[in-house]
Structure 1
Protein backbone atom coordinates (compact mmCIF):
# COMPACT_ATOMS: atom_id res chain seq x y z
CA UNK A 1 0.00 0.00 0.00
CA UNK A 2 1.44 3.35 -0.97
CA UNK A 3 1.26 6.73 0.64
CA UNK A 4 -1.97 7.57 -1.18
CA UNK A 5 -3.71 4.49 0.16
CA UNK A 6 -2.65 5.35 3.70
CA UNK A 7 -3.97 8.89 3.38
CA UNK A 8 -7.27 7.55 2.02
CA UNK A 9 -7.55 5.19 5.02
CA UNK A 10 -7.00 8.10 7.39
CA UNK A 11 -9.61 10.21 5.58
CA UNK A 12 -12.23 7.43 5.50
CA UNK A 13 -11.57 6.67 9.15
CA UNK A 14 -11.99 10.32 10.10
CA UNK A 15 -15.25 10.51 8.16
CA UNK A 16 -16.59 7.36 9.81
CA UNK A 17 -15.55 8.52 13.28
CA UNK A 18 -16.42 12.22 13.26
CA UNK A 19 -18.89 12.91 10.44
CA UNK A 20 -21.40 10.10 10.68
CA UNK A 21 -24.05 9.15 13.18
CA UNK A 22 -25.01 5.79 11.78
CA UNK A 23 -26.19 3.05 14.06
CA UNK A 24 -25.59 -0.40 12.65
CA UNK A 25 -26.54 -3.49 14.60
CA UNK A 26 -23.39 -5.41 15.58
CA UNK A 27 -20.95 -2.85 14.14
CA UNK A 28 -19.48 0.10 15.99
CA UNK A 29 -18.87 2.57 13.13
CA UNK A 30 -16.82 4.90 15.35
CA UNK A 31 -14.47 2.06 16.29
CA UNK A 32 -14.09 0.98 12.64
CA UNK A 33 -13.18 4.57 11.73
CA UNK A 34 -10.66 4.74 14.55
CA UNK A 35 -9.07 1.47 13.40
CA UNK A 36 -8.83 2.82 9.83
CA UNK A 37 -7.08 5.95 11.08
CA UNK A 38 -4.59 3.97 13.18
CA UNK A 39 -3.79 1.60 10.31
CA UNK A 40 -3.34 4.60 8.00
CA UNK A 41 -0.95 6.29 10.43
CA UNK A 42 1.08 3.10 10.81
CA UNK A 43 1.23 2.84 7.02
CA UNK A 44 2.43 6.45 6.66
CA UNK A 45 5.13 5.91 9.29
CA UNK A 46 6.28 2.69 7.62
CA UNK A 47 6.28 4.25 4.16
CA UNK A 48 8.32 7.27 5.24
CA UNK A 49 10.89 5.17 7.08
CA UNK A 50 11.37 2.90 4.06
CA UNK A 51 11.52 5.89 1.69
CA UNK A 52 14.11 7.60 3.88
CA UNK A 53 16.27 4.45 3.84
CA UNK A 54 16.13 4.24 0.05
CA UNK A 55 17.30 7.83 -0.40
CA UNK A 56 20.86 7.09 0.78
CA UNK A 57 23.14 8.57 -1.85
CA UNK A 58 26.27 6.63 -2.70
CA UNK A 59 28.98 8.72 -4.35
CA UNK A 60 29.89 7.40 -7.80
CA UNK A 61 33.22 5.73 -8.42
CA UNK A 62 35.96 7.58 -10.30
CA UNK A 63 34.64 7.97 -13.83
CA UNK A 64 36.60 6.43 -16.67
CA UNK A 65 36.34 8.46 -19.87
CA UNK A 66 36.18 6.59 -23.20
CA UNK A 67 37.20 3.32 -21.59
CA UNK A 68 40.72 4.57 -20.82
CA UNK A 69 42.41 4.61 -17.47
CA UNK A 70 42.83 8.05 -15.89
CA UNK A 71 46.12 9.79 -16.71
CA UNK A 72 48.46 10.68 -13.88
CA UNK A 73 50.81 13.57 -14.46
CA UNK A 74 54.28 13.27 -13.03
CA UNK A 75 55.56 16.64 -11.90
CA UNK A 76 59.30 16.47 -11.33
CA UNK A 77 59.88 20.23 -11.40
CA UNK A 78 61.55 20.20 -14.83
CA UNK A 79 58.77 19.20 -17.20
CA UNK A 80 56.63 22.29 -16.60
CA UNK A 81 59.29 24.79 -17.77
CA UNK A 82 60.09 26.38 -14.43
CA UNK A 83 62.81 24.11 -13.14
CA UNK A 84 65.49 24.78 -15.72
Structure 2
Protein backbone atom coordinates (compact mmCIF):
# COMPACT_ATOMS: atom_id res chain seq x y z
CA UNK A 1 0.00 0.00 0.00
CA UNK A 2 2.82 2.38 0.79
CA UNK A 3 3.05 5.49 2.90
CA UNK A 4 0.92 7.62 0.56
CA UNK A 5 -1.98 5.17 0.47
CA UNK A 6 -1.89 4.77 4.24
CA UNK A 7 -1.97 8.51 4.85
CA UNK A 8 -4.80 8.85 2.32
CA UNK A 9 -6.86 6.25 4.21
CA UNK A 10 -6.21 8.02 7.50
CA UNK A 11 -7.26 11.39 6.04
CA UNK A 12 -10.43 10.02 4.42
CA UNK A 13 -11.32 8.23 7.65
CA UNK A 14 -10.79 11.39 9.70
CA UNK A 15 -12.98 13.40 7.33
CA UNK A 16 -15.71 10.76 7.52
CA UNK A 17 -15.50 10.57 11.31
CA UNK A 18 -15.07 14.20 12.37
CA UNK A 19 -16.09 16.28 9.35
CA UNK A 20 -19.58 15.06 8.53
CA UNK A 21 -22.72 16.12 10.39
CA UNK A 22 -25.03 13.44 9.00
CA UNK A 23 -23.51 10.19 10.25
CA UNK A 24 -26.01 7.80 8.65
CA UNK A 25 -26.08 6.95 4.97
CA UNK A 26 -28.86 4.41 4.65
CA UNK A 27 -27.85 1.33 6.61
CA UNK A 28 -24.22 2.54 6.96
CA UNK A 29 -22.83 4.55 9.87
CA UNK A 30 -20.14 6.87 8.46
CA UNK A 31 -18.46 7.33 11.85
CA UNK A 32 -17.78 3.59 12.06
CA UNK A 33 -16.55 3.43 8.46
CA UNK A 34 -14.26 6.41 9.17
CA UNK A 35 -12.74 4.69 12.20
CA UNK A 36 -12.20 1.51 10.15
CA UNK A 37 -10.43 3.53 7.42
CA UNK A 38 -8.20 5.20 10.00
CA UNK A 39 -7.32 1.88 11.60
CA UNK A 40 -6.55 0.29 8.21
CA UNK A 41 -4.36 3.27 7.28
CA UNK A 42 -2.47 3.06 10.56
CA UNK A 43 -1.86 -0.68 10.17
CA UNK A 44 -0.71 -0.15 6.57
CA UNK A 45 1.64 2.64 7.65
CA UNK A 46 3.18 0.53 10.42
CA UNK A 47 3.65 -2.46 8.10
CA UNK A 48 5.25 -0.28 5.42
CA UNK A 49 7.68 1.25 7.92
CA UNK A 50 8.51 -2.20 9.33
CA UNK A 51 9.34 -3.66 5.93
CA UNK A 52 11.33 -0.59 4.90
CA UNK A 53 13.39 -0.85 8.08
CA UNK A 54 14.08 -4.56 7.57
CA UNK A 55 15.61 -3.90 4.13
CA UNK A 56 18.49 -1.90 5.56
CA UNK A 57 21.75 -3.77 5.48
CA UNK A 58 25.27 -2.93 6.55
CA UNK A 59 28.00 -2.92 3.92
CA UNK A 60 31.21 -4.53 5.13
CA UNK A 61 34.40 -4.60 3.14
CA UNK A 62 36.55 -7.69 3.47
CA UNK A 63 40.15 -6.65 3.87
CA UNK A 64 42.58 -9.50 3.36
CA UNK A 65 45.15 -9.85 6.09
CA UNK A 66 48.83 -10.65 5.62
CA UNK A 67 48.07 -14.39 5.77
CA UNK A 68 45.58 -14.10 2.89
CA UNK A 69 42.49 -14.82 4.98
CA UNK A 70 39.69 -12.41 5.79
CA UNK A 71 37.19 -12.27 8.62
CA UNK A 72 33.88 -13.63 7.30
CA UNK A 73 30.85 -11.33 7.59
CA UNK A 74 27.78 -12.12 9.68
CA UNK A 75 24.40 -13.01 8.19
CA UNK A 76 23.04 -9.44 8.14
CA UNK A 77 26.07 -7.92 6.46
CA UNK A 78 26.58 -7.42 2.74
CA UNK A 79 30.04 -8.10 1.34
CA UNK A 80 31.54 -5.61 -1.08
CA UNK A 81 34.48 -6.84 -3.11
CA UNK A 82 36.38 -4.61 -5.47
CA UNK A 83 38.76 -5.84 -8.08
CA UNK A 84 41.78 -3.78 -8.94
CA UNK A 85 43.73 -3.70 -12.16
CA UNK A 86 46.32 -6.09 -10.69
CA UNK A 87 43.64 -8.70 -9.93
CA UNK A 88 42.74 -9.19 -13.58
CA UNK A 89 44.10 -12.28 -15.24
CA UNK A 90 44.35 -12.02 -19.01
Q: Which residue matches 1:13? A: 13
Flag structure 1 segments of 5+ consecutive residues without an equivalent. Answer: 70-84
Alpha-carbon spacing, 1:54–1:21, altered in 2? closer, same or farther (3 Å): same
Name stretches of at least 5 consecutive residues in structure 2 with no aligned partner: 61-78
**TM value normalised by structure 2:** 0.69
Task: Give the superposition deviation at 1:64.
Answer: 1.5
SS of corresponding position for 1:58: strand
Structure exhibiting the larger radius of gyration computed from Cα positions: 1
Report what 1:78 is aligned to.
none
For residues 17 and 80 of structure 2, the distance between their equivalents in structure 1, rounded to whole angstroms, comes to 53
Are residue 30 (structure 1) and residue 49 (structure 2) matched? Answer: no
Aligned to 2:67: none
Which structure is higher in strand share? 2
Please say if 1:61 is aligned against 2:80: yes
How far has the Cα of 1:67 moved from its partner? Answer: 6.2
Match of 1:76 in 2: none
Aligned residues: 69
